[in-house]
Amino acid sequence: MTAGTDLDQALRVPVELGERSYDVWVGPGVRHRLAEVVPGGASRVAVVTQAAVADAGLTVDPGVEHRVFITDDGEHIKTLGAVEELCREFAQWGLTRRDAVVAVGGGAVTDLAGFTAAVYHRGIRMVYVATTLLGQIDASVGGKTGVNLPEGKNLVGAFWQPSAVLCDTEALDTLPPEEMRSGLGEMAKYHFIADAGLDSLPLVERIARCVAIKAEVVADDERESGRRAVLNYGHTLAHALEAHGGYDLRHGEAVAVGLVYAAELAHRAGRIDAHRVDEHRRVVSGYGLPTSLPADADAAGLVELFSRDKKAVGGVTFMLDGPHGIEAVTGLDPALMLETLEAIR
C-alpha cells in the first residue's frame, strides 16, 4: 500500500492478477477522481447507482458522455430480471463493448452491475465506486459478481474483475448506524485472517489494510478453489442466521456472532486456547457488535442449515482458527456444534 500521486493523498492498494490487475484507491472524496480511472477508449459510461446513494448526493462524473441508471435499494434488486432490464437499457442507449459501466453504491449494486457488465456484449469494462464500509472492504474487491434466485443467494454469477475501485471514505458519513455496523462485522473478520494490527490504525488506513489482506488472498486464489475460503471466516453461522431469518440481525452483525461461535467451536475442538477465544470476543465487542446468539434462536434448526452452506461439499465445513491459522475443518460432531451454540446464547 503506497501513497497515491495521481489521486492526491489517497492510499493505493494493488490487486495483482496478471493482465487483470487493478488498483483500489482509498480516501475521502476519491469518487471525484473517477475520470482518472475510467478505462481508456470508453466514449460512454453507464453509471448504475441506488436511490439512497443518489439522494445522499454521492454523484460522480466519469468525464465522458454518461447516463445514470437508478435501482432500488437492498438485496432484492439482485435478480435476473434486473440484469435483463439493465442490458436492454444499455442496448437501447447504444452502449458498446468498448464502453464501460460504473457502479456507485454498496454490495448489492456492485453485485448487480458487475454481473451485468460481465454478460453484456460478453463482458465490458467495469469500475466500482464503493460507498459503504461493507462494499469497500468486501464486495468491491475480488471480482465476484452475482444475483439471487428464489432458491438461494448468489446462485448465478461470474468472476469479473473491475478495471479500478474507488473507496470513498467521505461517503461513510452518510451511512445510517446499522449500515456501518454491517461493515464493521466484516472488518472484525480481518483481525483474524491476518495479524494486521488493525486496532492501532485510523479508519482510512484500516480500510486500506483490509483491502490489502483481501487482495493478497484473491491474488493467491482468484477463482475460490482453495485459500479464498478463509474470507468466509465466521460466515457459516452467519449465513444460517440469515437464512433462518427473524433475528433482526444485519449481515455484519450475524458475521460477528459467527466469529465468536467459530472461536468457541475451535476451542472445544482443541485447536485454540481460551486466550484466543477472549481475543475474538474483545475485537467483536470493541466494534460494538453482538457476541451472543439471539435468545430465541432455534439452535437445532441452525445446525441443520449448516449442511446447506456453500462450503459444505463433503459434509458440514467450518473455517476454524488453529495453530496454522484459519483452515477448513470437516467431520465435527453435530452434538458439539449444538452444545457450542447453546454456550454462546
One of 189, 239, 267, 280 is an active-site residue; which one? Answer: 239
Q: Which of 228, 244, 271, 310 is catalytic?
A: 228
Decide if 242 is catalytic: no
* Residue 76 designated active-site: no
The residue annotated as part of the active site, out of 33, 78, 125, 144, is 144
| CA atoms of 260 and 84, how far apart (whole Å) | 40
Please say if 153 is a catalytic residue: no
Q: Which of the following is catalytic: 33, 232, 242, 264?
A: 232
Q: Which residues of 163-186 are buried (b: 16+ CB within 10 A; e: fewer)?
A: bbbbbbbebbeebeeebbbbbbbb
The answer to whether 122 and 154 are in contact (CB under 8 A) is no
Tell me which amino acid residue 122 is: R
Contacts of 86 (CB under 8 A, 6+ apart): 46, 48, 69, 112, 113, 116, 120
Check 209, 251, 280, 311 and give the catalytic one. 251
Q: What secondary structure does DSSP assign to 231-272, as a single string? A: GGTTHHHHHHHHHH--S---HHHHHHHHHHHHHHHHHHTTSS
- Give the DSSP H or E segment for 308: none
Of the listed 214, 250, 267, 311, which one is catalytic?
214
Cβ pair 146, 156 in contact under 8 A: yes
122 is a catalytic site residue: yes
Residue appearing with cell numbers 457450542? 340
Residues 6 or more apart whose CB falls under 8 angstroms from that of 326 comprise 192, 193, 230, 233, 319, 320
Catalytic residue selected from 205, 224, 279, 327: 224
Catalytic: 206? no
Contact status, residue 48 vs residue 77, Cβ threshold 8 Å: no
CA distance 158 to 125: 14
Q: Does 275 qualify as catalytic in the annotation?
A: no
On whether the CB atoms of residues 267 and 259 are closer than 8 A, the answer is no
> Which one of the listed residues 66, 179, 186, 206 is annotated catalytic?
186
Element (H, E) at 341: helix 334-343
**Nearest 5 degrees, angle CA 79-CA 80-CA 83?**
95
The residues annotated as belonging to the active site are 122, 144, 186, 214, 224, 228, 232, 235, 239, 251
